[in-house]
Every structure is written in C-alpha cells, then in structure tokens.
Amino acid sequence: MSVQYRILFSDLDATLLNNKKEIEPGTEKAIREMLRHGSFFVICTGRSLASARAVAARFGLDCPGCYIVAYNGGVLYDPSKDRIISYASIPIPVVKKMFEQAQRASLYIHTYDRADDSVLTLRHTPELDYYVAHTGLMPKIGSDVLERITQEPAKMIVINLDQPEKLERFQKENAAWSDDVLNSFFSCRQYLEYCPAGISKGTAVTALCRHLHISPEAAVAAGDERNDIAMLRAAGIGAAPRNAHPLAKEAADYVCEADHEQGAVGEIIRKFFCAGKHAVR
C-alpha cells in the first residue's frame, strides 16, 4: 500500500535556495500547488527565527499550511498565527563555558539574543562580517555581552573561514563535557553549531508531525548537509539534492537529478506529492 505524503520539511541554503538566495520558479509553483491541495510545507533551517521568517515572508511561505523550524530544531513556529510552538534553549552557564573554550582556542563564536535574534559576540572579526552578510542579522559586540543575556539562547555557532579543520579539533576536544548538555554538528565546513542536547532537525520532524497529528512516515525531508542527516532519517522519505554532502546522500532514500540551482525541491514535490495523492488538512 502506497504512502500518502502530507508534509515536506525543506532546508534553506543550498537546498531550497539557490546561490542567489532565490527559489527556482518551477519549485515555487510546485510549493503553491501542494499547499493548495492540503499538504504542509516547512522551512527547516539552522538559521535564526528572524532570518527564517524573513525568507518565509519574501516568498509568501508564511500562509496557513506553512511552518518554520529554526535553530536546527530548537524553535518550532507557526508564521500564519505568529506563534512559537516550542523553544528549546541552552543554559546560560553552558553558553559562557563554551565561549571560554572558544576564546582559548582562538576561535570566533556567537550566540543569539532571544528577544530580537541579534548576534551576540565578543569582538568584531571577518567571521562576524561574513555571517551578518549572509543572514542580515544585526550584531551586538562587546566583552560584557554575555553578562547582558537574560534569556537562554537556542544555539551557538563557532566559525572558522580559513582553517575549518580547527573546528573538527575543537569539537573533539570539548566532547567530553559538552556531549551531555549539547548536540553539535556541522552545517557546512566553516560552521560548527551547538544546540541543546537532544535537539536536531530530526527531533523537529517528530515534534511538528505530532503537533499536526501526522505520522512521520507521511513526511518527506529535503536537505544537503550534515546537520540535515537527522531529519532525512526521521522522515518517511529523506531526499538530497545532487549537490549534497556525501554523508547526506548516504542517509537519503532519494537523491535528486537536480541540484539546488535547478530546482531540486520542485523535483521532490513532483515525485512524492503527485496528482491523485493530495492530502486534506
């Protein structure tokens, strides 16, 4: 008996979005069609909620039937109702300890202000400029920035643009104490991300499906990087664009003929949300 797929979780960068940060026209049309027929569409990203909301608003993906998973699973959000469904956070003492470890390793690190999703970091670096240019988020910089945190953040990120191998070493060196309280993974070679323990895009697939009373077996997930692997495995079908990291392709049930420039997500929608198998919300 064939499965009727009802919900699509899609990563943003290098999956749904091309290098110009746009959605291929055929993919936009496919998303509209699946929403019109009662399926759900979920932006599932490591980006902050503010950044994900901006993308959703730009492409009209903030209507009923659309949801956002931000911070690699830390936040579940309903944009049509402007409502946070759930928010997982990192204890402030853990944030401070990770900042200390990054400073000792001479690595850039930042976290986020829960009030406005601004970037909180200790000093101005090329890594900060790179990140802000790609996300549009506003930075707050200062040696006392951690003392001004009043609410626990959802994520930290350690960045190295020139020698990414330093991030792999940093992850291994801090695993003994951090693995009990944090989940860490790479969203690209230059970004080492830390979320609360037990939180990932995979747990977000399970949680949002439960919220919507949908079986995870009726979910399709699309992603290209190592931080997407958990959701590729949690969904009934995991799909990777042709440009995906080898480990993401290995975890996927389906690898697209198209890459993110050619509308890979549109290909996924046409294959798994085809005519005659439309859902009813």
- pLDDT value at residue 148: 84
SS3 199: coil
2: pLDDT strictly greater than 80:
no
- The single-letter DSSP state of residue 148 is G
Give the mean pLDDT of 56-71: 98
Q: Give the bridge partners for 77, in sequence order.
A: 68, 84
* Sheet of 83-87, strand order: 83-87, 75-78, 66-70, 40-44, 7-10, 219-222, 237-240, 254-255
Q: Are 55 and 46 in contact (CB under 8 A)?
A: no
Q: What is the pLDDT of residues 94-150, one digit of tens each?
A: 999 999 999 999 999 999 999 999 999 999 999 999 999 989 999 999 999 999 888
Give the mean pLDDT of 199-203: 98
What is the spatial distance between Cα 45 and Cα 48, in angstroms, rounded to a whole number?
Answer: 8
| Count of C-beta atoms within a 10 Å radius of residue 108 | 21
- pLDDT value at residue 281: 55
Selecting from 3.30.1240.10, 3.50.50.60, 3.40.50.620, 3.40.50.720, what CATH number does the domain 92-196 have? 3.30.1240.10
- pLDDT value at residue 177: 97
Q: What is the CATH number of domain 7-88+199-274?
A: 3.40.50.1000
CB-neighbour burial class of residue 140 (10 A; exposed 0-12, middle 13-18, buried 19+): middle
Token pair recorded at residue 222 = 């699309």
Token pair recorded at residue 181 = 């309280």
What is the spatial distance between Cα 158 and Cα 178, in angstroms, rounded to a whole number?
Answer: 14
Token pair recorded at residue 5 = 């797929």
Q: What is the pTM of this model?
A: 0.92
- pLDDT value at residue 274: 73
228: pLDDT strictly greater than 50:
yes
Q: What is the pLDDT of residues 99-114, one digit of tens each?
A: 999 999 999 999 999 9
**Domain ranges across the chain:** 7-88+199-274, 92-196
Q: What is the pLDDT of residues 266-276, one digit of tens each?
A: 999 999 997 54
